């Protein structure tokens, strides 16, 4: 899908995309990457961040290790310095998480957690760096009206693409959140 998406982009956009990887883990940056992942996790799930990790560990002791060190750290949390390109940042990371989970359906608690995580990005100020988003828009997205807009927009896209049959993850199932 990413290859198809890229091939559909206009040449000026493709030419502006970074050509250098920015998420390579080395012995020198390993602890910094892990700390970034845990910091993002804590920001999304506070004040339940540790309790949630403990609950995940009840399912399997490596589950929280995998989630933090394989997802939040190298993938979701932006590297502190990128040679080129745009940083996603805390606010857009939450928006992407909400959209992906909402489109999937059947994972209402995770959608709710990430909606609250979006709100927490405004509360704790982590939305400010590195995004250059207008504060008024950020506050609107993190409020009741903005949250409803996000969910309805994703539902509309899923309905259009799925021809009102649900998603490929759960055909025929409508979101309950």
d(CA 82, CA 51): 33
State phi, psi for 30 to the nearest 5 degrees: -55, -50
Do 101 and 162 lie in a common domain? Answer: yes
Do 104 and 169 lie in a common domain? Answer: yes
| Nearest CA among 26, 45, 21 for reference residue 109 | 45
pLDDT of residue 111: 92
pLDDT of residue 67: 94
As for how many domains the chain has, the answer is 2
Give yes or no for a contact between 38 and 73, defined as CB atoms under 8 angstroms apart.
yes
Mean pLDDT by 10-residue block, N- to C-terminus, for the chain (177 residues)? Answer: 87 87 88 93 91 95 94 85 68 90 87 91 81 81 94 90 63 54
**Any bridge partners for residue 171, and if so which?**
166
pLDDT of residue 176: 53
**pTM value?**
0.74
Both tokens assigned to 156 = 């509309």
Do 71 and 155 lie in a common domain? Answer: no
Domain residue limits at 34: 29-77
Residue 7: how many other CB atoms lie within 10 Å:
8
pLDDT of residue 99: 93
């Amino acid at each position: 899908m990413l290859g198809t998406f890229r091939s559909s982009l206009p040449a000026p956009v493709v030419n502006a995309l970074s050509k250098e990887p920015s998420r390579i883990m080395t012995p020198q940056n390993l602890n910094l990457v892990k700390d970034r992942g845990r910091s993002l996790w804590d920001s999304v799930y506070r004040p339940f961040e540790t309790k949630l990790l403990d609950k995940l560990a009840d399912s399997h002791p490596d589950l929280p290790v995998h989630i933090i060190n394989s997802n939040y750290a190298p993938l979701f949390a932006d590297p502190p310095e990128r040679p080129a390109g745009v940083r996603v940042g805390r606010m857009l990371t939450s928006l992407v998480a909400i959209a992906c989970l909402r489109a999937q359906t059947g994972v209402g608690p995770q959608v709710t957690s990430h909606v609250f995580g979006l709100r927490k990005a405004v509360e704790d100020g982590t939305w400010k760096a590195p995004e250059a988003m207008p504060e008024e828009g950020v506050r609107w997205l993190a409020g009741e009206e903005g949250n409803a807009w996000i969910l309805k927009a994703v539902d509309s896209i899923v309905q259009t693409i799925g021809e009102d049959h649900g998603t490929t993850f759960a055909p025929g199932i409508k979101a309950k959140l």
